[in-house]
Structure 1
Amino acid sequence: MRHPQPTRQAHEKFCRVEEWTRVRDARGRTGTHHVTYELSLKDGRILRTRISHPVDRTTYGARIWGHILRDQLEVTDDEFWACARDRIRPDRGEPVVPLDALPADLVHLLITRVGVDETTVAAMTKDEAVARVNDYWMGRD
C-alpha cells in the first residue's frame, strides 16, 4: 500500500494516539528543539523515539524513516499509518482478556474451597461458576 511522505507531525500524532509518554524536551547548541517519547511494553522493554520540533510538515528521508519505524517505533509502515491516520493502535502482543473470562478470585474459590478441578473450571461459563459457588455456600454441593 502506498502511503504519504512521513512528517514530524504524523510522527507526533502516532505517539499521542498510542499514548507514548513525553519524557524530555531539549534544546541543542543550534537551538533545535527535540522531544523524546517513551512507551513501556508488557514484556518490560521501553521504546524511545525523538522528534525534532517545531512539529511541522517537514518530511523524513527514506533512510531515517526506515530507522524510526524499525528501531524506535517497532512498527511497519502500514501499522504506523493506521495509527496516525485512523487511530488504530498497533498490536503490541498484549493479551486480550475475553469478555466471558471468569474473575480470578472466583476461579481461586472454585479450586481451593469448592474443590472443582482446573479443567472443569476452565470449561465453565460465568453463570455456571457462580451457581456452583452458591450451591457450595448453601450446602447443596
Structure 2
Amino acid sequence: MPPKFGELKRYCEKNGWVMIRDTDHWYYEKVLSNGDILRTRVSHSVSKEIPANLWRKILKQQLRISEEEFWKMI
C-alpha cells in the first residue's frame, strides 16, 4: 500500500534529504557519496495517499530504493 505524502516527508527529513524550496510543494534533494543528486517533491496534502503509479515512479526514479527499504527507514 502506498504511503501518504506526510510519510514521504518524514522519510526525507529522517534520511539526510535537504529541503531546498517550499512553494506549491516541498522540494527535497540529497547528494550521494558518488556525487549523484537525488530530487523529489512532496505535496502539502500530507494526509493524502500517494497514487500507486506515482509511488512506483518516486521509489524507482527519485528515491532509488525499494519499498521495503522505505518502510524500514521511516
Percent of residue pairs bearing the same amino acid type: 35
Runs of 4+ in 1 over 6 A off after TM superposition: none
In structure 1, runs of 5+ residues without a counterpart are 27-32, 85-141
Within 5 A, what are the aligned runs for 1:84-99?
Answer: 84=74
For the pair shown, which has the larger CA radius of gyration, 1 or 2? 1
**Please, what TM-score do these two structures have when normalized by structure 1?**
0.50
Q: Which has the higher strand share?
A: 2
> How far apart in 1 are the matches of 2:22 and 2:47?
20
Q: Which has the higher helix share?
A: 1
In structure 2, runs of 5+ residues without a counterpart are none
Compare relative contact order (CA 8 Å, sep 6+) and give the higher one, 1 or 2.
2
The correspondence for 2:54, drawn from 64, 71, 77, is 64
Equivalenced residue count is 74
Deviations 1:47-66 (A, max 9, x none): 00000114x22001111000
> How far apart in 1 are the matches of 2:50 and 2:5?
7
RMSD: 1.1
